[in-house]
Amino acid sequence: MKTVIVLGPLFTQAERIWNRLLKQAIEKEREELKVVLPQDNAKKFIKNNKVNFKALMENCLVNAKSHDIAIAILDGPDADSGTCVEIGFRKGTNRKLKVIGVRTDFRASENEGLNAMLHICDKIIYFPSFNEDVEKLAQEIIVAI
């Protein structure tokens, strides 16, 4: 079984719900893939609405380099800074560790909507239309895996 870590924002309910839908769609398509979500790991660092950011950050870096494949969510006018650090850390640890970038955001800026440095990803999937079919996106990710 291969493990897949999702690198991406988890700050809003919308982000967490979308991460979970993507996980479910990927695992439904390929049972041999186990998808790890950042919010499931983050829960253990939040107690009484207080976040242990140092422990959270350290856990994110361990996760970034510890899984077979990483899917990096690159949405927003600028990709999430924490996600960018995780990508850089993963690739800096071992350039052969696979990172698949996913951009569903239709806003354009810089190089195809991304900072040129993010093209360190092994593959970037652009899914910017108003297509909300998460299963179709999961199929494209699986092809890239």
* pLDDT at residue number 50: 94
In this model, does residue 26 exceed pLDDT 80?
yes
pLDDT band at 110 (very low <50, low <70, confident <90, very high): low
* pLDDT at residue number 112: 66
Q: What CATH number does the domain containing 41 carry?
A: 3.40.50.450
* pLDDT at residue number 40: 93
* pLDDT at residue number 114: 83
Residue 48: domain span:
2-144
Any idea how long the chain is?
145
pLDDT band at 132 (very low <50, low <70, confident <90, very high): confident
Q: How many domains does the chain have?
A: 1
Between CA 47 and CA 39 the distance in angstroms is: 14
In this model, does residue 111 exceed pLDDT 80?
no
Which tens digit of pLDDT belongs to each residue from 71-89?
Answer: 999 998 889 999 999 999 9
Angle, CA of 16, 18 and 20, to the nearest 5° = 70
HEC string of the chain?
CEEEEEECCCCCHHHHHHHHHHHHHHHHHCCCEEEECHHHHHHHHEECCEECHHHHHHHHHHHHHHCCEEEEECCCCCCCHHHHHHHHHHHHHCCCCEEEEEECCCCCCCECCECHHHHHCCEEEECCCCCCCHHHHHHHHHHHC
> What's the whole-number mean pLDDT along residues 27-31?
96
* pLDDT at residue number 43: 87
Sign of CA dihedral 67, 76, 120, 21: positive
